[in-house]
Chain A
Amino acid sequence: MSTAATQDTRSDRIVSACIYTALGLFCLAVLYPIVYVLSASVSNTKKVAAGEVWLWPVGFTLDAYKAIFDYKSIVSGFGNSVYYAVVGAVVATVLTLLAAYPLSRKGLPGKGLIMAAFVFTMMFSGGLIPTYLVVDKLGLLNTRWAIILPAALAVWNVIITRTYFMVTIPEELVEAGKVDGCSDFGFFWRIVLPLSKPIIAVNLLFYAVGQWNSFFNALIYLTNEQLFPLQVILRQILIQSKVDPSQMPDTSKLIQLKELQQQLKYSLIVIGMIPPLLVYPFVQKHFVKGAMIGSLKG
């Protein structure tokens, strides 16, 4: 910027220093717990308990991770979570695109009314029990669909996606398509979708992360442990400290698990944290842009 050319005053330099320090502290506060847990998860149990671990691992070992992979419901929970994240994200993204595109088009009769019907649900909802009764009535309880369908559309994402379409697909392009004899379906499929990769990526990421992180729907709609997502298992072990002996192949492993119980929690946190954190830096650029467009013009 042009300020580089002008001389900073003394007070400006003090302000700058304060800003850099504040940002540095923010980052440190965010990073420290994450780094600590990572280190603790690969450190010797006794050293962690004795308080010798502050930042870097002490007495490197992967025992806790080995124990995790013997615990059946963690493995199955991981698999279920991947399933819910992938299928859930695809279903939800398709629904969102189908809702957002028509609502972005100028001159669609009834558009305002439909949009209002969507937005109203952000401010008022039936609440916990009536929603549960609907899911029950549809016969979805204890099926994978109970996790995927009720979460299959987020109005906020529809708004962001619609705004993206309004900004990136100019009306002139629609008219040009019409002149060339393109139907609405054809235009959507051949012109709109190829131009919308960033917003599709944002939707997929948001829905997938949402599914990966959610536990409450599973808590109320599922009783079959085979269908539990990872978060429900994490809650049992991490927060309720419940370790289920029937989940271990043999007793010697169970004893080992008991010894490692505290350690196990560190490695479980890492396991629960890693997948979304791995994906997000790659799509960060897109979602920041998407969120910005949506928030400014929504």
Chain B
Amino acid sequence: MTTLNAERTAAAHQRERTAKSSVGLGLRMRRHWQLYAMLALPLIWLAVFAYWPMYGVIIAFKDYNVVSGIWGSPWVGLKHFERFVESYQFWRLIRNTVFLHVYELLATFPLPIILALCLNTVRRKWFSRSAQLITYAPHFISTVVVVGLLVVLTNPNTGVANQLLGLFGLGPVDFMGDSGLFRHLYVWSGAWQTMGFSAIIYLAALTSVPPELHEAAIVDGASRLRRIWHIDLPAIVPVAVILLILNIGSILSVGFEKVLLMQNNLNLDVAEVIDTYVYKIGLASAVPQFSYATAIGLFRSVIGLVLLVLANTFARRFAKSSLW
């Protein structure tokens, strides 16, 4: 399968090369003008909604005010960054963000892999089909509803979680208002929601395992556990490494919408993360501080990008698998 594809692409490359050498660039571009015309709308969208905001990032280095606009506002250098790093919020935000993300990563990264390996070994079609159908479902439920579910199920008076505790003589616990429980609730409800859908990508990797490998291993007397360990798991590793790199890149941008929804005055000391803070001082406050909020956001993005590049370099060197 792969070798056939490789041959085909090699042949196509050959064709392409001969085509390139015989026809000039201008002519080739004119010949494809209809394809460029199709790309026009998406490119306009990209320029307006992705690259224009990137240009707008320079307000992080200015004292932005609406009247003078982006270009007219005075430059202030790194003032806003310095203010952020020196503020008493700084370490708290970094700690909360990193903690939440690392915990989430440790807890939710292995689950889809285990699920995919399990689904892959099930031989009864109806069973694996319905297991997939059920475990994907929460992916389609909105964050608002998932947090709503948490609120309702853990309600100190009527929630089923507390009634269960009551059966054991324990007490009502205000789950949502307890800052000690915030991280657990956040992470495990996230696992509940994403586990099934994240398993798809691993299942895809497992379908590329040739069945002959398993047959040969059976003939050699390998047990099922051994086959999972030595055949299935290695097929998953490259995909897992790539997902891990992506995850590390977003270490400072935890699922911001959900954190915002789960926040309340009682858990704010552990629930305030960089993104929710940016939202609050930038848009939700009575006196929005556009430049300061943008600087904090930029700080986060740049660190994320640096981590992504580092993780990728690391993975390329040691796991021989990388994003680029």
Interface of A is mostly: helix
Chain A residues positioned under 8 Å from B118 (CB to CB) = 19, 22-23, 26
> Does B257 sit within 8 A of A, measured CB to CB?
yes
**Residue of B20, B25, B138, B305 contacting most chain A CB atoms (<10 Å):** B138
> Does A80 sit within 8 A of B, measured CB to CB?
no
Q: From residue A240, how far is it (CB to closest CB) to chain B in Å?
A: 9
Chain B residues positioned under 8 Å from A118 (CB to CB) = 46
**Residue of B12, B41, B143, B224 contacting most chain A CB atoms (<10 Å):** B224
Q: From residue B256, how far is it (CB to closest CB) to chain A in Å?
A: 8
Distance between Cα atoms of A51 and B155 in the complex (Å): 12
Across the interface, do A133 and B290 meet the contact criterion of CB distance under 8 Å? yes
> Does B135 sit within 8 A of A, measured CB to CB?
yes
Selected interface stretch from A67-75, A195-203, A246-254, A275-283: A275-283
- The residue that B257 contacts in the complex, of A3, A34, A216, with Cβ under 8 A, is A216
> Does B180 sit within 8 A of A, measured CB to CB?
no
Across the interface, do B123 and A101 meet the contact criterion of CB distance under 8 Å? no
Distance between Cα atoms of A194 and B112 in the complex (Å): 35
Across the interface, do A51 and B283 meet the contact criterion of CB distance under 8 Å? no
> Does A176 sit within 8 A of B, measured CB to CB?
no
Across the interface, do B141 and A128 meet the contact criterion of CB distance under 8 Å? no
Across the interface, do A109 and B28 meet the contact criterion of CB distance under 8 Å? yes
Across the interface, do B34 and A296 meet the contact criterion of CB distance under 8 Å? no
> Does B241 sit within 8 A of A, measured CB to CB?
no
- The residue that B290 contacts in the complex, of A9, A40, A102, A129, with Cβ under 8 A, is A129
Distance between Cα atoms of A61 and B261 in the complex (Å): 30
- The residue that B133 contacts in the complex, of A15, A117, A284, with Cβ under 8 A, is A284
Q: From residue A205, how far is it (CB to closest CB) to chain B in Å?
A: 9
Q: From residue B169, how far is it (CB to closest CB) to chain A in Å?
A: 14
Knowing A19-B118, A106-B16, A129-B283, the reply to whether A280 touches B136 (Cβ < 8 A) is yes
Across the interface, do A128 and B301 meet the contact criterion of CB distance under 8 Å? no
- The residue that A19 contacts in the complex, of B122, B143, B211, with Cβ under 8 A, is B122
Distance between Cα atoms of A281 and B59 in the complex (Å): 46
Chain A residues positioned under 8 Å from B305 (CB to CB) = 123-124
Q: How large is the interface on A (under 10, 10 to 19, 20 to 34, 35 or more residues)?
A: 35 or more
Distance between Cα atoms of A279 and B192 in the complex (Å): 20
Across the interface, do A235 and B278 meet the contact criterion of CB distance under 8 Å? no
Distance between Cα atoms of A4 and B124 in the complex (Å): 11
Knowing A15-B224, A295-B201, the reply to whether A23 touches B25 (Cβ < 8 A) is no
Across the interface, do A277 and B294 meet the contact criterion of CB distance under 8 Å? no
> Does A168 sit within 8 A of B, measured CB to CB?
no
Distance between Cα atoms of A212 and B144 in the complex (Å): 11
Closest residue of chain B to A22, judged by CB?
Answer: B118
Across the interface, do A1 and B141 meet the contact criterion of CB distance under 8 Å? no
Across the interface, do A117 and B294 meet the contact criterion of CB distance under 8 Å? no
> Does A62 sit within 8 A of B, measured CB to CB?
no
Chain A residues positioned under 8 Å from B224 (CB to CB) = 8, 11-12, 15-16
Instruction: Flag A177-219 by CB within 8 Å of B: 1 or 0 each.
Output: 0000001110010000000000000000000010011111000
Chain B residues positioned under 8 Å from A284 (CB to CB) = 133, 136
> Does A149 sit within 8 A of B, measured CB to CB?
yes
Q: From residue A28, how far is it (CB to closest CB) to chain B in Å?
A: 9
Chain B residues positioned under 8 Å from A105 (CB to CB) = 32, 35
Instruction: Flag B48-86 by CB within 8 Å of A: 1 or 0 each.
Output: 111111111101000000000010000000000000000
> Does B231 sit within 8 A of A, measured CB to CB?
no
- The residue that A129 contacts in the complex, of B35, B52, B59, B123, with Cβ under 8 A, is B59
* 24 contacts across the A-B interface (CB closer than 8 A): A4-B123, A11-B223, A20-B122, A22-B118, A27-B131, A27-B134, A30-B138, A48-B158, A98-B38, A102-B35, A114-B39, A121-B51, A125-B53, A126-B54, A127-B300, A129-B278, A129-B282, A130-B55, A131-B53, A153-B46, A262-B155, A265-B151, A280-B137, A288-B200
B-contacting residues of A (Cβ < 8 Å)? 1-4, 6, 8-9, 11-12, 15-16, 19-20, 22-23, 26-27, 29-31, 33-34, 36-37, 40, 48-49, 51, 53-54, 95-96, 98-99, 101-103, 105-110, 114, 117-118, 121, 123-134, 138, 149-150, 152-153, 158, 171, 183-185, 188, 209, 212-216, 220, 231, 234-235, 238-239, 262, 265-266, 268-269, 272-273, 276-277, 280-281, 284, 288, 291-292, 295-296
Known pairs A26-B118, A238-B151. 12 more at Cβ < 8 A? Answer: A9-B223, A11-B223, A30-B138, A98-B38, A98-B42, A108-B35, A118-B46, A234-B144, A234-B145, A272-B142, A288-B132, A288-B200
